[in-house]
Amino acid sequence: MDPSHELDKTTDGDHMIEIKPVDVLKKSEMTVRVPGSKSHTHRALIASALSDGICRIKNGLDSEDIGHTKACLRQFGVGIEEDGDGVTVHGTGGAWRRVDDPIYLGNSGTSIRLLAGAAAIGTGKYIFDGNHRMRRRPIQPLVDSLRQAGVMARCLNGDGCPPVEIQGRRIKGGRVDADGRLSSQFISSLCLIAPFTDRGLDIRVMSGLVSRPYLDMTIDTLRRFGIETRRSGYRRFHIPGKQNYRPGDHVVEPDCSQASYFWAAGAITGARVTALGTGKETMQGDVKIVELMRRMGCRVDYGNDGISVQGGELTGIDADMGDMPDVAPTLAVVAAFAQGKTTLRNVAHLKAKESDRLEATAAELRKMGISANAGDDCLTICGGSPKGAEIETYDDHRMAMSFGVAGLRVPGMRILNEMCVSKSFPHFWTTLHSMARD
């Protein structure tokens, strides 16, 4: 039986999708193709815009968040052309155009953190703002680091959150202390502008660093664009100044965060699900979720065509999610089908995502009849027999996709405001629907 997705409206006019279970045999094999990495696409676009020539990006993600980054770069004066085979970016060498009106970035945390830093090398005053949730997402650590580098920066409401004002100017550079406890994006933002400073930036990470693989991705992007970088683990990053981003062609690899939902489908249905084009050598930290699924009882294969996950008898585990926060809700949903307790640790930074994912995940699991409790820095799930429920997404794409997968096993799963997935995976529901078709 194929899964069937029916789009309805609730009585208050909000949209809702219901996922009907699919009858999957354990010998069943499914393949799915996921879009390009969102994190990689953001970085490739910004680095291309900073280059002094023409760059071509293939397999980049086309989503709401990426649209915000493109729109901002166009306001900066960057030429961006899109066709069916990719995106062409006409780099400005960091010569940003003055932007008098506030730049709106919705709820794209990556966009505002990377682009607010990038504005520091521009001309004049730039103001970045977003929706109501964005105005609750911290950006003060980046503001503090930029000030140390000699940049005039401030949060206009005085609360450490957007709207944020950046005064573009020539930056001398030098030592900068950075706080990575909430996000590695603050440090990535500094790294991206360091080549345009006079003396470079010597970035010292003074507090704990989360989401480290995303910083690895930033450093890798710099090197691919010809930027010299030096580092001492995750404590110190030195990027010399007076460098130029080199133009060229770049291919974005498939997004392992998006693949995680289909690996989760394999884990809970018993089918063998392959995410085409994914591989073990990726710099995306979220790929590590498959090894956590292996520990839970799944079979994991690294094939030439992609990584495959097949479910088995699932048992709870204890897992550190510090380097892969985006897939914590995915694993939490898988844990609902496992026997015993699963504890996800090092997840305090989930509170400052598109929603408070820590509390939201626990609340929606409880609706499904699963015992789940959110602590200050952990999430505990006691697996059992989940039941159907009406899931609130909190306008958070990862909540919608994670709990949507549960509907492949559990009747009566209804996802409210299902189109919030357009933030990162506009065709998610179509892909979920088609993955089990003959």
Counts of helices then strands in the chain (DSSP H, E): 12, 24
The pTM (predicted TM-score) of the whole model is 0.91
pLDDT at res. 157: 97
CATH class of 38-251: alpha beta
State mean pLDDT over 160-180. Answer: 96
Residue 377's φ and ψ, nearest 5 degrees, are -140, 25
pLDDT at 27 over 80: no
Q: Mean pLDDT for the chain?
A: 93
Give tens-digit pLDDT for 323-352. 999 999 999 999 999 999 999 999 998 887
State mean pLDDT over 52-76. Answer: 97
Is-contact 95 77, C-beta < 8 A? yes
Give tens-digit pLDDT for 77-95. 999 999 988 999 999 999 9
Report the phi/psi class of residue 133: left, alpha or beta, with left for phi > 0 and alpha for psi in -120 to 50.
alpha
Cβ partners under 8 Å of residue 205, min gap 6: 178, 179, 180, 187, 234, 235, 236, 237
Give tens-digit pLDDT for 347-399. 998 887 888 999 999 999 999 999 999 999 999 999 999 999 999 999 999 99
Give tens-digit pLDDT for 127-154. 999 999 999 999 999 999 999 999 999 9
Tell me, rounded to whole angstroms, the distance of Cα 238 from its chain centroid: 25
- CA 165 → CA 40, 143, 162, 322, distances in Å? 26, 9, 8, 30
Structure tokens at 311: 């479910």
pLDDT at res. 159: 97
For CATH 3.65.10.10, list the domain ranges present in the chain.
5-35+254-434, 38-251
What's the CA gap between 220 and 253, in Å, rounded?
13
Options 326, 356, 395, 396, the catalytic residue: 326
8 is catalytic: no
pLDDT at res. 353: 86
CATH number of 5-35+254-434: 3.65.10.10
pLDDT at 25 over 70: no
What's the CA gap between 165 and 263, in Å, rounded?
41
Is-contact 225 209, C-beta < 8 A? no
pLDDT at 435 over 90: no
Structure tokens at 38: 């969102």
Give tens-digit pLDDT for 271-306. 999 999 999 999 999 999 999 999 999 999 999 999
pLDDT at res. 7: 29
pLDDT at res. 72: 98
